[in-house]
A and B are shown apart, each in its own frame.
Chain A
Amino acid sequence: MFEIKHNDLGFELKMSATLENIDLADDFFADYLIKNDISTNHFSLRILLRESMLNAVTHGSDTDPDLIVNMEVQVSSDEIKLAVKDPGEGFPWQDKKPHFEVFEESGRGLALMHMYSDAINYNEKGNQVVITKKLQIIGEK
């Protein structure tokens, strides 16, 4: 499953929890950012989409293609929000620090999300993350 619905603020994506669908979502998002002339660093936004989706697909859904991951993208005049929700038990965000060890294989995803975003918020359960990235205001120095 891979469904996209456009709305007035952005779009909503529902997809089966597979790694291949993350690539499809990124391809769509990269194209969306260009077509809508989103005025901030596109690479940063794509990293944010990828890492939040990767957490939702692997940790939140155990890469089970029968489970569904949802993403909503909302664009306003000064920021873009990515909200990613999975059907899992939730991420213990209260206890997790965005720290990584350079020689460790895991732990970089959360660090990247903090490095490339302006704000990260979770719901209480920890199965939804909302990432905010400020946009560059045209004409602002």
Chain B
Amino acid sequence: MSEHVGIQDKNIELNPDGKITAANADEFRQELLELVESGILQITINLNNVDMIDSKGLAVFIVCHKTLAAKGGSLTVISDNEELCNLFHLMRFDEHFAVVKSE
């Protein structure tokens, strides 16, 4: 469901679009876990084209973070959407992985 905009060594940047919600969260989770399984250790998810994430979508981010951290990797989330950045803050995700507000 995401456009892969770049793969370098063990890093990848993903550009999902639309919504990350209960209707597609399982698909997104599978995509991320397959990347980690393939050896990717640094995942950057650019949410500039995402306008909504619900509780099921949020769970995917914490699963991805936990899976990467267990392998010594890390997750970074980028968004220019103040509401989404605040949502990640309310869920205290920014205490555990990087949530970057882009211009």
Contacts and interface: CB of A to CB of B under 8 A. Distances in A.
Contacts, number: 54
Contact of A19 (B22, B83, B91): B22
Interface in B13-66: 19, 21-23, 52, 54-56, 58-59, 62-63, 66
Interface class of chain B by DSSP: helix
Interface class of chain A by DSSP: helix
Contacts of B92: 102
Contact of B23 (A20, A41, A51): A20
Nearest to B56: A54
Contact of A103 (B52, B55, B66, B83): B66
Nearest to B22: A19
Contact of A102 (B22, B56, B62): B62
A39 interface: no
Contact of B58 (A20, A46, A108, A115): A108
A14 B6 CA distance: 43
15 contacts: A19-B22, A22-B21, A43-B83, A50-B21, A50-B52, A57-B22, A102-B62, A102-B92, A103-B62, A103-B66, A104-B62, A105-B59, A105-B62, A106-B59, A112-B55
